[in-house]
Amino acid sequence: MFYDKDHSTTDTSSDDGIVDALWCQSSDPEAVGTWYFPNDTEVPTFDGEFGNDSAPRPVFAKSFDGQVALARREGLLGYEGLYKCVISDENRVNQTLVAGIYRTRVYKANEGPRLSSAVTYNLISVLPLHASLNFNVTRSPPTYLNSTVNNTILLSFSCTVIDGPSSVTGVSATVRERYAGRYEFMVSNNRVTDSKANEDYVPAFSDSRSLTIG
C-alpha cells in the first residue's frame, strides 16, 4: 500500500534512511528485476535520484544490485491495481512478487486470484495409485489454496509459478488414495480481508472449481 504521504523523495516512515518505495529483492546480487503495471506493461525505469523532478510519473522503477524499487512521484488515480515484479533468484529462476497498490485501504473485489482453467485429471500410475489434479490460477498467485473431496478430505498441493508478468500459477494436487466423488478447489488471498467502504460491505475475492470422479 502506498499512502498519500509516501512519495518517493524522503524517508517518512522511520529513521532508517531508506526511501519509501516498494522494494523487490533477490538473493542473487546480480539479478535484475522488472516491475509491471496492472495491465502487464513495463513500468518505466529511471537512473536519476528518487527526488528528481524529471522522473516518470506517477511511478517508476529504479534498479540497484539485486533489487529494484517501485517508486511513486504523484497520485495513483487511474493506476491502481496489482503490480508485479519479476526477478531471478540465486538459481537464476524467475520469481514473481505481486503487490496490490491502491489509494485507500479498500480491497477491490475484482482483483483477487481466479481459477482460469478447468480441473484436469492425470493418472500417473495405478498400483500404487498416483494421480494429479491440475489447474491454472491467474490475476496474482494465490496465497491460500484449499481442496476437499466430498466436502471432507483435504488434499496436499505442490505449486509451480510459471515465469512472466501475467503471474500464471500452475497448481497440481497429488492424489495417492482412491476416492470417488466431487473434488473442489478454492483459491483466495489470505492477506486480504473483507472490509467496509462508505458503509458498503466489500468481500475479499475467492474462486473455486470442481471435478467429479466416478
pLDDT tens series, the chain, 214 aa = 454 444 555 545 545 445 568 889 998 999 999 999 988 899 999 998 887 888 898 889 999 989 999 988 777 778 877 788 999 999 988 888 877 776 654 445 446 677 877 888 888 887 777 788 888 887 665 566 777 888 877 766 665 555 444 567 777 777 777 777 888 888 776 555 555 544 555 556 677 888 888 7
Model's pTM, two decimal places? Answer: 0.56
In a shared domain, residues 34 and 87:
yes
The answer to the question of residue 9 being in a domain is no
Among residues 104, 123, 153, which one ends one of the domains?
A: 104
Same domain, 55 and 124: no
Tell whether 6 is covered by a domain: no
On whether both 119 and 149 belong to a single domain, the answer is yes
If asked whether residues 145 and 161 sit together in one domain, one would say yes
In a domain, 199, yes or no: yes
* Residue 15 within any structural domain of the chain: no
Question: What pLDDT shows up at residue 142?
Answer: 57
pLDDT at 4: 45
65 with 131, same domain: the answer is no
Q: Is residue 12 part of a domain?
A: no
Which CATH number do you get for residue 178?
Answer: 2.60.40.10
> What pLDDT score was predicted for residue 20?
65
DSSP state, 42? B
Find the length of the chain. 214
Q: b/e per residue, 27-60, with b = 16+ CB within 10 A? A: ebeebebbbbbeeeeebeebeeebeeeebeebbb
Within-domain flag for 14:
no
**Does any domain span residue 2?**
no
Are 173 and 95 contained in the same domain? no
Q: Are 150 and 60 contained in the same domain? A: no
Say how many domains are in the chain.
2
Closest-CA residue to 89 (of 73, 67, 74) = 67
130: alpha, beta or left? (left if phi > 0; alpha if psi -120 to 50): beta
Among residues 73, 104, 135, the one where a domain terminates is 104
Spacing of C-alpha 27 from chain mean position: 19
Is 94 in the same domain as 140?
Answer: no
Answer whether residue 35 is part of any domain. yes
- Verify that 96 and 124 share a domain, yes or no: no
Do 100 and 123 fall into the same domain? no
Are both 96 and 27 inside the same structural domain? yes
Q: Are residues 63 and 150 in the same domain?
A: no
Amino acid identity of residue 10, one-letter, is T
Of 104, 129, 145, the last residue of a domain is 104
Give Cα 98 distance to the centre of its chain. 3
Domain assignment of residue 126, given as a range? 111-213
